[in-house]
């Protein structure tokens, strides 16, 4: 049943008609419970409150698979404005970016131009930028861009997905950069040619990647709501006496709030992944695909209005 549910919501995530409807009726589908607003200004009070409550944040302007140079430039400028606003309001937040929103599918030169501008602005403000991972067809290009930029900018991290066969080799290739890595299971629809389709294998590979990156001494963000994965990480760092400033837990805004608070109260760093923007539909569907329990959350969002 879980596999069927995952395939169903991943299929819905690519439905353009539903995407258009979602933009019109977002709040009625619970979108306001998992995103920070339609623009960054609306998200600022929420980030401020999260910081006051002891959480760190990473913000993501929703939108991907851009095929227009003009739209890609708009996304880049929005990102730079977001960085300036973070500095002005002294928010404890990083930013996450999707390269397809900045022109990856248009040209390498375009996305590199945009990332140089973004990273320069972020460096001036002391802000870390994480390049989000996307589907497997773009994985190689994303990591090559990360390597090129990481030689120049230290304020840069990226993501490794445990459901891809290639992930351990990718991690090995990145070791020379002492990378800041966000480790996740993965949320795109992939074939058995490139990805583990068995949940247990995905979970075991994520544990393996967490252990490998931590024992290699690199900063590790464990991005999971899975109790077993969190317990594994805690036991691992205790066993190997890894200090708390070498890792953090990352969780989605609006998901498992009590667990987030419990971890923070125990002294662990917890970072909330806070998306915002109108293009929330695909993101929401992938969250439902990741965790069947989120379906009940979505239904509650619909009928509580």
Verify whether residue 132 is a known catalytic residue. Answer: yes
Residue of 182, 256, 286, 291 marked catalytic: 182
Residues in the chain: 305
- Whether the CB-CB separation of 181 and 158 falls below 8 Å is answered with yes
The number of angstroms, rounded, from the C-alpha of 128 to the middle of its chain's C-alpha atoms is 13
Verify whether residue 84 is a known catalytic residue. Answer: no
The whole-angstrom separation of Cα 185 and Cα 222 is 10
Neighbours of 27 (CB within 10 A): 12
For residue 79, give both structure tokens.
Answer: 């990102």
Residue of 60, 132, 203, 279 marked catalytic: 132
Q: How many helices (H) and strands (E) does the chain have?
A: 12, 8
Q: Assign 283 to helix, strand or coil.
A: helix
Query: Whole-angstrom distance between the N-terminal and C-terminal Cα of the chain?
Result: 29
- H-type helices in 1-138, by residue range? 2-13, 16-25, 40-52, 69-89, 108-125
Burial class of 172 by CB neighbour count within 10 A (0 to 12, 13 to 18, 19+):
exposed
Residues designated as active site: 132, 182
């Amino acid at each position: 049943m879980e596999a069927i549910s995952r395939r169903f919501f991943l299929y819905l995530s690519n439905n353009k008609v539903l995407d258009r409807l979602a933009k019109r009726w977002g709040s009625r589908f619970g979108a306001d419970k998992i995103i920070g607003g339609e623009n960054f200004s609306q998200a600022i009070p929420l980030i401020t409150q999260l910081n006051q409550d002891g959480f760190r944040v990473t913000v993501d302007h929703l939108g991907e698979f851009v095929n227009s140079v003009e739209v890609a430039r708009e996304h880049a400028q929005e990102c730079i404005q977001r960085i300036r606003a973070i500095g002005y309001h002294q928010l404890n937040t990083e930013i996450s970016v999707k390269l397809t929103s900045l022109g990856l599918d248009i040209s390498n030169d375009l996305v590199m131009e945009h990332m140089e501008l973004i990273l320069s602005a972020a460096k001036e403000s002391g802000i870390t930028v994480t390049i989000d991972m996307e589907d497997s067809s773009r994985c190689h290009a994303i990591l090559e861009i990360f390597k090129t930029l990481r030689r120049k900018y230290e304020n840069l991290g990226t993501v490794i997905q445990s459901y891809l066969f290639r992930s351990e080799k990718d991690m090995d290739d990145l070791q020379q950069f002492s990378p800041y890595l966000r480790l996740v299971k993965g949320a795109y629809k992939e074939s058995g040619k490139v990805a583990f389709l068995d949940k247990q294998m995905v979970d075991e590979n994520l544990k393996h990647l967490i252990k490998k990156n931590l024992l290699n001494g690199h900063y590790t963000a464990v991005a999971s709501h899975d109790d077993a994965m969190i317990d594994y990480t805690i036991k691992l760092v205790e066993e190997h006496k890894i200090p708390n400033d070498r890792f953090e837990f990352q969780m989605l805004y609006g998901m498992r709030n009590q667990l987030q608070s419990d971890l923070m109260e125990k002294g662990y760093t917890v970072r909330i992944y806070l998306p915002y923007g109108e293009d929330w539909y695909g993101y929401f569907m992938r969250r439902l695909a990741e965790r069947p329990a989120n379906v009940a959350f979505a239904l509650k969002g619909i009928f509580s209005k």
